[in-house]
Amino acid sequence: MAFDIEEKVRSLAEGALKESGLELLDIEFKAGSLRITLDSLDSMDLDRIAEASTLISKLIDASNDFDALGSFTLEVSSPGVERTLRTEQHFQRFIGSKAAFKTKPDTVVPRRFQGVIQGASDGVVTVALEDSAISELKVLQIRIDQLERARTVFEWGASKPKAGSKSNGNKKAVKPNSTINEIAKD
């Protein structure tokens, strides 16, 4: 039933959201909550989320397709720094990004692993494994339908030094009361 609801919401709201400059990333209906995740090339702030929430709520109220559900909670949000990956398009959008994966119990590959998304096509994701000790493979191809969940992984701090670069071991001290943005600029 949840799949049908998600498809109905997508067909009902996707066009109107696109006209507002918003991309409908994910829809999930479970435990009496309809969770909708939106993104935009422009900034996402609370005002845009509130406007989108009002728009979606009006569209749902005007449709008879949702009457049988009774009451439920509508949650509209932006994806945040760690994004859920469910569709082939999601994986394609984050090629080159680090992600954490959890497979379904009946899958032969490791249950949990991390790696960098190398590609996605024909329902299959290619992942360069972060820790090849979990498998003799360095690159794993797994069908999206074998994944219980996947999400991008946000890493704080500077990028890793390039191969061959030298460090003198000196680290910059963080000033007390520094903000995250000030630390990142240093």
Say what the pLDDT of residue 81 is: 82
pLDDT of residue 118: 95
Residues 11 and 70 in one domain: yes
pTM of the model: 0.62
The CATH number given to whatever domain includes residue 55 is 3.30.300.70
Instruction: Please check the confidence at residue 171 and state whether its pLDDT lies above 70.
Output: no
What does the pLDDT average to over 12-41? 89
* Contact (CB, 8 A) for 105 and 66: no
Last residue of a domain, one of 30, 48, 77: 77
Domain extent at residue 144: 88-152
Q: Is residue 173 part of a domain?
A: no
Q: What is the pLDDT of residues 46-70, one digit of tens each?
A: 999 999 999 999 999 999 888 888 8
Beta bridge partners of 103: 147
Q: Is the same domain home to 109 and 145?
A: yes
Q: What is the mean pLDDT of residues 167-173?
A: 40
Residue 62 and residue 10 share a domain:
yes
Which residues, in sequence order, are bridge partners of residue 40?
A: none
Across the strands, what pairs with 74?
34
The number of domains in the chain is 2
Number of Cβ atoms within 10 Å of the Cβ of 57: 14
Q: In this predicted structure, what is the pLDDT of residue 136? A: 63
